């Protein structure tokens, strides 16, 4: 559902490579009746005959699994209906990520219309919730900024490596992270050759980061003139003045030793290296002069930050190999 958005189109691209998926319906209300190949020529070889459908065609298709890629506020009644019919759901939107309906209302501006489902939704960040995902039938796929932040800073908070009251996050994101809806900020004349901070102290991914890390976060996102990609630099004071960069890297190596989609890099990650893959690069440094940790990560906001992560979580939930149908290499150059 929502197959005409950036995340929805990425889901179609990845689903075509998954041996256990058969796409039976791809909804796109404003483009219902239009061929996928016409709307998104990049997918023409994968879907030469598939036509975008309206939502009312979903029921007659009797799907086993629905990926929902709709803007916040739109998926609540739809997901409630799907769950009541016994259909497994992976929601890529924000509607089921926060457990407290009052927190959702405060940050998203509307009352939650399916609060009884919040406790049933499992947060789909596999590297941190693998056990809870086993058998899950409603998965709340994380946002791109919280994913990159939690994978970079999470191990250090979890292991009391840092002062939990001092977490600061700066992030760069490509324009696709803002979705397809037009805005002044996304006009070419404003975006090209520019870099811009936005939603200062008020970005809606902030409570998701805080819930996942369990600490207060000062978050500043920046829009940069690339189509896709995300680069995060997160900072916190180290708990012990004797801590070194080697200690930080050893912790990352230990935590992510068995995670197939995490690359622990001794060089600072770049925005470009993970593009097209479901991989997240992480690294860290400790500045002995100031006593601060720098935790870094990069990922493709449409793959590991959205569609790829959703499929990864479903693989784990359904007992399939975690890497099935997902790319582990980026596109280079």
What pLDDT, in 10s, does the model give residues 18-74? Answer: 999 999 999 998 899 999 999 999 999 999 999 999 988 887 888 999 999 999 999
Q: Assess whether 144 carries a catalytic annotation.
A: yes
Segment 270-287 shows an average pLDDT of: 97
Task: Please state which of the four CATH numbers 1.10.3720.10, 3.30.420.40, 3.40.50.720, 3.30.565.10 is assigned to the domain occupying 6-142+304-317.
Answer: 3.40.50.720
The confidence score (pLDDT) of residue 318 equals 98
pLDDT greater than 80 at residue 182: no
pLDDT band at 120 (very low <50, low <70, confident <90, very high): very high
- Torsion, Cα of 83, 136, 232, 153 (10° steps): 140
**CATH code for residues 144-300:** 3.30.360.10
Catalytic pick among 144, 151, 238, 326: 144
pLDDT tens figures, 130-178 = 999 999 999 999 999 999 999 999 999 999 999 989 899 999 999 998 8
Instruction: Write down the pLDDT at residue 75.
Output: 93
Q: What is the pLDDT of residue 44?
A: 98
CA distance readout (Å), 27 to 56, 135, 235? 9, 26, 41
- Check: CB of residue 3 under 8 Å from CB of residue 69: yes
pLDDT score at 178? 82
Among 86, 97, 40, 34, which residue's Cα sits nearest to residue 63? Answer: 86
Q: Which two tokens stand for residue 298?
A: 């990069």
pLDDT of amino acid 53 = 95
| In the chain, domain spans | 6-142+304-317, 144-300
- 125 vs 10, 116, 120, 230, 308, CA distance in Å? 18, 21, 15, 17, 11
């Amino acid at each position: 559902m929502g197959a005409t958005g950036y995340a929805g189109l990425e889901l179609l691209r990845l689903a075509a490579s998954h041996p256990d998926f058969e796409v039976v319906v791809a909804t796109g209300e404003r483009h219902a009746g239009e061929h996928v190949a016409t709307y998104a020529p990049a997918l023409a070889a994968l879907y030469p005959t598939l036509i975008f459908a309206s939502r009312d065609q979903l029921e007659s298709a009797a799907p086993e699994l629905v990926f929902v890629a709709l803007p916040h506020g739109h998926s609540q009644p739809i997901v409630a209906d799907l769950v009541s019919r016994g259909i497994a759901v992976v929601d890529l939107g924000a509607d089921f990520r926060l457990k407290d309906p009052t927190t959702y209302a405060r940050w998203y501006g509307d009352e939650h219309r399916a609060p009884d489902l919040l406790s049933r939704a499992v947060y789909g960040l596999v590297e941190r919730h693998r056990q809870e995902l086993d058998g899950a039938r409603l998965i709340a796929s994380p946002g791109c900024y919280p994913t990159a932040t939690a994978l970079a800073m999470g191990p250090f908070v979890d292991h009391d490596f840092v002062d939990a009251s001092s977490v600061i996050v700066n992030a760069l994101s490509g324009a696709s992270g803002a979705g397809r809806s037009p805005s002044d900020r996304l006009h070419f004349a404003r975006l090209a050759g520019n870099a811009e901070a936005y939603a200062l102290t008020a970005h809606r991914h902030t409570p998701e980061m805080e819930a996942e890390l369990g600490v207060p976060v000062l978050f500043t996102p920046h829009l940069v003139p690339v189509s896709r990609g995300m680069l995060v630099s997160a900072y916190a004071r180290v708990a012990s003045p004797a801590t070194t960069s080697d200690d930080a890297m050893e912790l990352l190596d230990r935590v992510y030793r068995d995670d197939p989609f995490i690359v622990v890099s001794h060089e600072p990650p770049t925005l470009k290296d993970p593009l097209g893959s479901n991989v997240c690069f992480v690294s860290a440094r400790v500045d002995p002069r100031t006593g601060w940790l720098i935790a870094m990560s990069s990922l493709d906001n449409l793959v590991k930050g959205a569609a790829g992560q959703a499929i990864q979580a479903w693989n784990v939930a359904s007992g399939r190999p975690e890497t099935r149908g997902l790319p582990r290499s980026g596109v280079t150059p």
